[in-house]
Chains A and B, each alone.
Chain A
Amino acid sequence: MKERWHALWNLIRALARDDAYERYLAHHARSHPDRAPLDRRSFYLIEQERKWTGVARCC
C-alpha cells in the first residue's frame, strides 16, 4: 500500500516537473561526473528560460 502511494506521488511529481532537478542531477552524474552540476536555482531559471522560448501553450 505504502509503495502504491509512493508510486502515485512520484507520478504526480513527474507530471508537474517537480522532480526536474533530481533527474538532471542523476543524468549529470552519469554523463559528466567530472564537472560540478548547476545548483537548484540556476537550473530552475535556465529551464524556465528554455521552456518559454518556444511554443509551450496553445489556444
Chain B
Amino acid sequence: MRKVLWILLSLIGAFAVGGIALNRGETLNAMWIVVAAACIYALGYRFYSAWIAAKVLSADPMRATPAIRLNNGRDFVPTHRWIVFGHHFAAIAGPGPLIGPTLAAQFGYLPGTLWILIGAVLGGCVQDMTILFLSTRRDGRSLGQMARDELGPIGGVAAILGTLTIMIILIAVLGLVVVNAMKHSPWATSTVFATIPIALLIGLYLRNIRPGRVLEASAIGVTLLLLAVVGGGAVNAHPWLASLFDMEGIPLAWFVIGYGFFAAVLPVWLLLAPRDYLSTFLKLGTVFLLAIAVIVMRPEIRMPAVTQFIDGTGPIFGGALFPFVFITVACGAISGFHALVSSGTTPKLIGNESDVRLIGYGSMMLESCVAVMAMIAATLLEPGVYFAINSAPGIVGATAEEAVATISSWGFPVTVEQMRALAHEMGEATLFARTGGAPSLAVGMASIFASAFGEGLLAVWYHFAIMFEAVFILTTLDAGTRVGRFMLQDALGHVIKPLGRTSWYPSVLITSALVVAGWGYFLYIGVVDPNGGINILWPLFGIANQLLAGIALCVATGILVKQGKARYAWVTGLPLAWLAIITTTATWQKIVSPDVRVGFLAAAEQLADKLAAGALTPQQAAVAPQLIFNQRLDAALALLLTAILWVVIIDMLRVSWRAIRGLPVPPSSEAPAVQLAEVRS
C-alpha cells in the first residue's frame, strides 16, 4: 500500500515537472511549481536522505552524541529534534534565498526553479546533512578545524581564508540591497531607521526590565515594528518629514557602514541579540504567511519559461545561463555558509544521530522551499515591470521613457503610466531601477498578500516586505561583521599577540574597523557604479558561496574515502565536481570574457579607454578611476577564490589517494564511540 502511494507521488511529481518544463501557454499556475517541489522534496527526503544516513554515514541511534556525553546545560544540551530543527532553520535562513532567485528570474522561471529543486535535493541538503553529521561525530568542531584535522594545514588555512572573503563580499552585497531599497524612499528609510531604536529598546528590556523573557520582548518588538511600517506611511505623507528621509545612495551607504561598525563593537545584548530575535520572528512569520498566501491565491506566473537572456545579454546581470544561473541562485540550492552553522552550534544540541537527517537535510529543504516562493513572487509580476524595477539606468537608459522603450523592445511591454500607477499603489515616488531584488520581491509579495488578505493595503504590505528584508539583512550584517572580526583577531593574534585577545577594546575597535572597511569599500563602489553594482557583486558573492560549499564537500569526501567508503564518495564528490566546474567556468568568464558586462578586465579596459579619450561626462570621469581599479581588484579576488578551491580539491585528492593506497594520512579526528547505554548507567 505504502509503495503504491510513493509510486503515485513520483508520477504526480514527474507530471508536474513535465508540466512546468513543457508549458508554452501565456501563463502557468504557480501550483504546478508548488506540487512539483513538494513531490521532489518528499522523494528526496524519504529515499535519498534515508539511504545516505544508513549507508554512507552509518548513523547509529545507539551511539551517544556529544550533547549526551558532554551535557553542560548550556551549549551542549540534548534537545528535541523539532526544536533543533527550528533553531537550525532560523540560523541558516537568510536573505540570500530571497534575492538569488529574484535575480535569476531574468532567465525565465524554469532554469532557476529546476536548479533550486535539483541542487537542493542532490547538493545543498546533502552538504548540510553530511557536515552536520561529521561535526556531531567530532564534538561539534568547526569546518575550518575539521579541514585542518582531516586534510592538513593547507585545507584549514584555505577554509578560513575562504570564509573571511565570502563574509566581506556577502555583507557588501547585502548592504547594497538595503541601500537600493531605501534610496529616495522616505517610507522605507524611516521604517528601517526606526528598527534601530526599537531593537535597542528590546535589548534594554531583555537585560534590565525582564531579563531573558524572549517571547514577551519579541511580541512587544514585533508590534512596534509593525507600527513603524504604518508610521513610515505617515512620514511619507508629511512633506517636511518626507524630505528629511528622502536620501541619496551615498549618505545611505555611509549610514549602513556606520551602523555596521557600531553594531559590531557594542555589547551583543544591546543591539545584535534583540535585532536577531525580532528578525527571526518576522522571518518565520512572513515565510509562513507567504506559503499560505501562495496556496490560497494560486497566482499565475507571467514570466516566460525561458527568456532570450540565456545568451548572456540579460539586463540584471551579464552572463549566459551556464554557469550563471547556478552562481546566481546560490543559497536556495546549495550554500557553503550553511556548513559553518552545521559545524559548531547545531551539532552540540543533537540528542540522537538519527535526528541528523531531519535537521540537516530537512532544514535545507525548507530553505529551498523559501527560494521557490521567492521565484514565484518574482515571476508573477508582468515581465516588463520586473525588468523595469531590476534594470540599472546604465543598461536601459536613465529616464523612464528610455527605460520602457528599451524593455518593451525586448518583447516585454511596459508603459510609463503602468509603472507610475504601480509606484503610486506601493507608496513610492518611482520603482524604476530599484536594483538588488528586494523591491521587486516586495512588489511581488505585496500583490500576493494584498490579494489574499485585503486589496486596500498594498503600500503597507510593500513596506512591510521591505522592512522584513531590511531587518534580517541588517542582522546578517551585524553578525557577519562580528564573525569577521573574530576571525581577523584570531589570524592577527599570531602576528601581534594583544590583537588576539577578543575582548581587549583597542583590538575590538581596530579589527572591527578593518572588517567594516573591507565590505564598506565594496558597498561604496557598488553605490557609485552607474550599472548598479549588483551586476558585479552578486556573481562575486555567488562564486564565493559556492566555493565555500566546495571546501565543505572536499572535507566530507576526504573523510568518506579515509573511512574506507570510497565507493560512496560520489555522494559528496559529484556535487563537488559540479561546483568546481561552475565556479571555475564563471571565474574564467568573469576574468577573460571580452563582453564588458561579464568580464571584469574587459570592463576596466573599456572604461580606461573612454576616460583616456575624454568620452565621459565630468561626473562619470570623477568616479572612473575607482571603478577601473575595482574591476581589476574583483578579477584578482575571483581568481584568488577559485585558486583556494583548487588547492583544497588537490589536497583532498592527495589525501584520498594516500588513503586508498594505504599510505599514512592524518588520523581520523572522530570522537571515540560511546554507547548510549554506557552514559545512562
A17 and B77 alpha carbons, distance in the complex (Å): 12
Q: Name the residue among A23, A45, A52 with the largest chain B CB count within 10 angstroms.
A: A52
- The answer on a CB contact under 8 Å between B170 and A59 is yes
Q: A14-B83, A57-B94 are in contact. Are A52 and B268 (CB under 8 A)?
A: yes
- The answer on a CB contact under 8 Å between B215 and A13 is yes
Q: Contact mask A38-51 → B, CB, 8 Å, 1/0?
A: 00110111011111
Q: Which residues of A contact B86 (CB under 8 A)?
A: 15
- The answer on a CB contact under 8 Å between A53 and B486 is yes
Residue on A nearest B480 in the bound complex, by CB: A57
A29 and B211 alpha carbons, distance in the complex (Å): 21
A43 and B340 alpha carbons, distance in the complex (Å): 26
- The answer on a CB contact under 8 Å between B479 and A52 is yes
- The answer on a CB contact under 8 Å between B337 and A59 is yes
- The answer on a CB contact under 8 Å between B212 and A44 is yes
Q: Contact mask B451-478 → A, CB, 8 Å, 1/0?
A: 0000000000000000000000001100
Q: Name the residue among A11, A15, A58 with the largest chain B CB count within 10 angstroms.
A: A58
A37 and B94 alpha carbons, distance in the complex (Å): 35
- The answer on a CB contact under 8 Å between A20 and B212 is yes
Say yes or no: is B302 at the interface (Cβ < 8 Å to chain A). Answer: no
- The answer on a CB contact under 8 Å between A44 and B73 is no
- The answer on a CB contact under 8 Å between B213 and A59 is no
Pick the contact of B211 from A15, A16, A41 — CB < 8 Å?
Answer: A41
- The answer on a CB contact under 8 Å between B212 and A21 is yes
A44 and B269 alpha carbons, distance in the complex (Å): 9
- The answer on a CB contact under 8 Å between B95 and A16 is no
Distance in angstroms from B555 CB to nearest chain A CB is: 16
Distance in angstroms from A17 CB to nearest chain B CB is: 6
Q: A40-B211, A43-B212, A45-B207 are in contact. Are A56 and B80 (CB under 8 A)?
A: no
Distance in angstroms from B552 CB to nearest chain A CB is: 13
Q: Contact mask A9-31 → B, CB, 8 Å, 1/0?
A: 00111111110110110111001
Say yes or no: is A54 at the interface (Cβ < 8 Å to chain B). Answer: yes
Q: Which residues of B contact A43 (CB under 8 A)?
A: 212
- The answer on a CB contact under 8 Å between A11 and B74 is no
Main secondary structure of the interface of A (DSSP, over half): helix
Interface size range on B against A: 35 or more
Distance in angstroms from B640 CB to nearest chain A CB is: 20
Q: Which residues of B contact A1 (CB under 8 A)?
A: none
Main secondary structure of the interface of B (DSSP, over half): helix
Say yes or no: is B174 at the interface (Cβ < 8 Å to chain A). Answer: yes
Pick the contact of A44 from B82, B142, B207, B330 — CB < 8 Å?
Answer: B207
- The answer on a CB contact under 8 Å between A59 and B476 is yes
Say yes or no: is A55 at the interface (Cβ < 8 Å to chain B). Answer: yes
A59 and B544 alpha carbons, distance in the complex (Å): 12
Q: Which residues of A contact B434 (CB under 8 A)?
A: none
A23 and B74 alpha carbons, distance in the complex (Å): 9
Q: A45-B269, A55-B345 are in contact. Are A40 and B92 (CB under 8 A)?
A: no
Residue on A nearest B216 in the bound complex, by CB: A18
Q: Which residues of A contact B72 (CB under 8 A)?
A: 27
Pick the contact of B331 from A11, A51, A53, A59 — CB < 8 Å?
Answer: A59
Distance in angstroms from A19 CB to nearest chain B CB is: 9
A40 and B262 alpha carbons, distance in the complex (Å): 27
Distance in angstroms from A18 CB to nearest chain B CB is: 4
Q: Which residues of B contact A41 (CB under 8 A)?
A: 207-208, 211-212
A58 and B214 alpha carbons, distance in the complex (Å): 21
A48 and B92 alpha carbons, distance in the complex (Å): 18
- The answer on a CB contact under 8 Å between B83 and A11 is yes
Q: Name the residue among A16, A31, A51 with the largest chain B CB count within 10 angstroms.
A: A16
Within 8 A of A (CB), among B475-496: 475-476, 479-480, 482-483, 486
A23 and B96 alpha carbons, distance in the complex (Å): 34
Say yes or no: is B87 at the interface (Cβ < 8 Å to chain A). Answer: yes
Distance in angstroms from A34 CB to nearest chain B CB is: 15
- The answer on a CB contact under 8 Å between B345 and A54 is yes
- The answer on a CB contact under 8 Å between B211 and A44 is yes
Q: Name the residue among A17, A31, A59 with the largest chain B CB count within 10 angstroms.
A: A59
Interface residues of A (CB under 8 A from B): 11-18, 20-21, 23-24, 26-28, 31, 40-41, 43-45, 47-59
Q: Which 9 A-B pairs have the closest CB atoms?
A: A27-B73, A44-B212, A59-B96, A41-B211, A57-B479, A55-B340, A59-B94, A15-B86, A52-B268
Q: A15-B83, A59-B476 are in contact. List 11 more A-B contacts (CB 8 A).
A: A14-B83, A16-B277, A18-B212, A26-B73, A27-B71, A27-B72, A44-B206, A55-B340, A55-B344, A56-B276, A58-B338
Q: What are 22 A-B contacts defined by CB distance under 8 Å?
A: A14-B80, A15-B86, A15-B87, A17-B87, A18-B215, A23-B73, A28-B73, A41-B208, A44-B211, A44-B212, A50-B74, A52-B482, A53-B486, A54-B142, A55-B344, A55-B483, A56-B345, A57-B276, A58-B331, A59-B330, A59-B476, A59-B545
